Amino acid sequence: MKEMPAAATSYRKTPELTEELRMAERAEYNGQLSGSRGSIEKLKIHTLISAIVIAIGVVLMIGKIYADSEPGGIPILLVLLGLGWHFITRLRIRSHYRKGKADT
């Protein structure tokens, strides 16, 4: 069995990565996934950006509640869009992994 390069084992150092990303990264390294090599990296970026959108929405909501005693529409919209984006990305990661697993 060939060894995984250091970049492929970096998930041990970053606990933010979800279990789905770890499985998909292993499957991609082992050649189990079809498609472009950068698709897992794109999904990681989508996960990161959705988390940033959620965080910005939460910070704005806290500030708006502190200032006006009501949450406001834009922060709620940011949080909902970020959550939707995050869960869609998780589904895409799972389907990507299952597709690779079914091909073997």
Q: Is 34 domain-assigned?
A: no
Q: How far apart are CA 25 and CA 96, in angstroms?
A: 10
Task: Evaluate whether 90 touches 18 at the Cβ level (below 8 Å).
Answer: yes
Q: Is 1 domain-assigned?
A: no
Q: How far apart are CA 74 and CA 88, in angstroms?
A: 21
Q: Is 43 domain-assigned?
A: yes
The pTM assigned to this predicted structure is 0.61
68-69-72 Cα angle (round to 5): 70
- pLDDT, tens digit, 9 for 90 and up, residues 9-56: 444 545 555 666 676 666 665 555 455 556 878 888 999 999 999 999
Q: Which of 20-29, 58-67, 74-83 has the lowest mean pLDDT?
A: 20-29
Provide the domain limits for residue 55.
Answer: 39-104
* DSSP annotation of 2: P
Chain position carrying tokens 């189990």: 32
Q: Is 92 domain-assigned?
A: yes
Give the chain's domain count: 1
